[in-house]
Structure 1
Amino acid sequence: MNKEGFRQQMKNSPRFKRLLDYLIMNQRDARPRWYIRLLAPLYQHRGRGSKIYWSVRMDTPPYRKFSLGRHSVVESYTCVNNAVGDVVIGDYTRIGIHNTIIGPVTIGSHVNLAQGITVTALNHNFEDKNKRIDEQGVSTKPVVIGDDVWIGANAVILPGVTIGKHAVVAAGAVVTTDVPENTVVGGVPAKVIKKL
């Protein structure tokens, strides 16, 4: 059975998935167990010439997809988490120092993320005031970052956002809505500053 078929089988069998989740994920630490992390090179896709620095925290269980394109780099002290959705990174892309990426996230080719950026498709549910927030689970909305995008230091990209091709996100921006192609956005919340 191929990897995609196995992933589909797990999605179709909640009981089997719970068992595998227990065996794969450390429930307290919310990351793959040590023996699963040793096997990561066998189930992660890493393109030719790509590099992930040794200090990167790869929270990538095998039941979700992680793919790093050709000649792409994930810099030191970054955290990549695909436990709730796939993380796909294109070719010739640089993920800067101390970034956090929580799937489902798709990042295009020739993208540059500076330092301290958070890209998250995950949000905690909190609407039911009769339950604690940690009892209400999580929800996800995919994030898509197009090709040839530059994101400045300490920016935050929130769930459901699509950033168009050849866009620039200013340092410190909090992006809550889609960013059109060929624009520069900045501020909290981010707004279009100019068109390119």
Structure 2
Amino acid sequence: MRSDAKKNYNRLLEVARQVVTEQGADLSLREVARRAEVGLGTLYRHFPTREALLEALLRTSFEELAARADLFTASNSSDKALVLWLRETIAFTYSHRGVLSLMMGAIEDMDSALHTSCVTLRAAGTELLTRAQSEGKARQDIDGTDLFALIAALAWVREQPSAAARADHLFEVITSALLTPH
């Protein structure tokens, strides 16, 4: 990629991150181009669809969350590592308003630009869960797909104005039901 094209690409991602924080996943591509001070054609050359732009934004974050799973595994008990990772993943999902439905759809749609990133994220959670299960610290009747659904449910609760104040309590209820007493 030419240096000016790379500069535009990075600027578009930087601006898109800000716009997603403000507007959520339904961000205006026109607004991203305007704030990045590039034409719509430049934006569409780099990101032909909104999903392609979101995938580029989310891929790095999902990779970081997957790496955090490894970090938590290395420095914590299996149950604590799982809970820490769940908390971070839910917080991330909540802070990126609107990505929840995209993530849930993309995990099942192999043609989605977000599919690979979502599968990677689910695999990281599955590894944490499997480790806790093998040590007898987590229920045996749940799998990575269930865990991904729980993340979505808890992030959704946090998004609801009437339930947001209860989100931390519900997180504790869910994680205590997920983990086995030891």
TM-score, scaled to structure 1:
0.24
Going by fraction, where is strand more abundant, 1 or 2? 1
Going by fraction, where is helix more abundant, 1 or 2? 2
TM-score, scaled to structure 2:
0.25
Larger Rg over CA atoms: 2
Relative contact order (C-alpha < 8 Å, sep 6+): which is higher? 2
